[in-house]
Each structure stands twice: as structure tokens, then as C-alpha cells.
Amino acid sequence: MENLSANNNIPSIDTRGLFCPLPLTLVSRKLKEIPVGGRLKVLADDKAFKKDIEVWAYETGNKLAEFKEENGYFVVIIERGKGFKGESIIDKIKFISLGVKLHFIKHFLDIVPFNKPKYLLTFVSVAEGIRANNFLKEKNINNYIMLPVPKEIYPHCGLVFGFKNKEDALNIYNLLKENKFAVEDVHVIDKEKKYPKIT
């Protein structure tokens, strides 16, 4: 186990007082600012955080370098990974198949742009996006399209929901957030491919 005092110079985020899914959302956003191999220190006091961060780290291909509890809250050191690749052959096949499907849809929309989305909803992990998709399908909500995350938003594999209009994007963002899904942000697709956030 590493010594926390050796980690004083790394970026940190304090999520104490926040509850699921906000801590994961904030951790995911902050970690995207850190290069692969870099580390992030997280403080959290949500009792569900331990399980949530372990699952999230696995799903996103990041590493929990340290996890301890002190003074009634958790102190976690996360090392930025290269994204989820799957451990078993079944994981790898499912992950690659989803990626192929999403990229095919993206290329089709590039060729036939009449139905192209203008807003993108991001998630803390691919698995969270899949869970959100299943939840919305059960409610017969289908006013979005699943696409690969643009490399300008996140350089590793991921998925987003694409929407034609802002109102739909914000309504789904709020619905998922209210139902404890770890959504991140809604981005506008601009001409310069900078994808500014509107949430």
C-alpha cells in the first residue's frame, strides 16, 4: 500500500457531501483532464462510493492505486488508464462489436447527413450508457441515437447519445440524472469540433 503523503502533489477532487451519481460524474470529468498514467486523489463520504468506484474503474479501464477510509470518509488514488478493453474473450468480443456498430452508424450519418444529431450526451462509462439505453427503451423513449464518443471529447472508446434538438437532449439528461444514472454533460456539435458543454 502506498503512502498518501507521497501523493500530495497530484490533482485532487473533494466530493464529500455529494451522493451517487454525482461523485462518479465529477471524478470522470476531472480524470479526463489528466494524461494516461497520471493520478487523481478523490475524497468521498457517500457510503455507496466504494462499490461504485470499484465498478466504474473496471468499466473504464482505470486503476484504483489506493483506497482507504480515514476520519469517516474515503481517500482514493486513481491512476488514469487507456480505457476499457475487457478481460475475458466474451468481454472483448462484446466491446469490439459495440464499437463496430457505433462507428458504422457514425459513418452512415457522415454520408447521409440529413438526420445528423446536433447535441451529444456523455456518460461516465460505456456500461453506464448501455444501462441508460436499456432504461430508456423500457420506457419507449427512442428520440436519440447511440454513437461513438468523438475523440475531441474523450480520446478512448466510449459512447454518447445523439439528439437532433436541445430540448430532447436536456430532457433525457435530466430524466437520467433523476433516476441516478451517471450522466456527464450535454455537448453541442459545432463546426470547429470543439463540442462545448451546455450543462
Catalytic center residues: 20
User: How many Å apart are CA 94 and CA 96, to the nearest integer?
Assistant: 6
Radius of gyration of the chain (CA): 17
- Could you tell me the three cell numbers for 80? 488514469
Which element (helix H / strand E) includes 92?
helix 89-111
Distance CA 147, CA 170 (A): 17
148 preceded by a cis bond (ω within 30 of 0): no
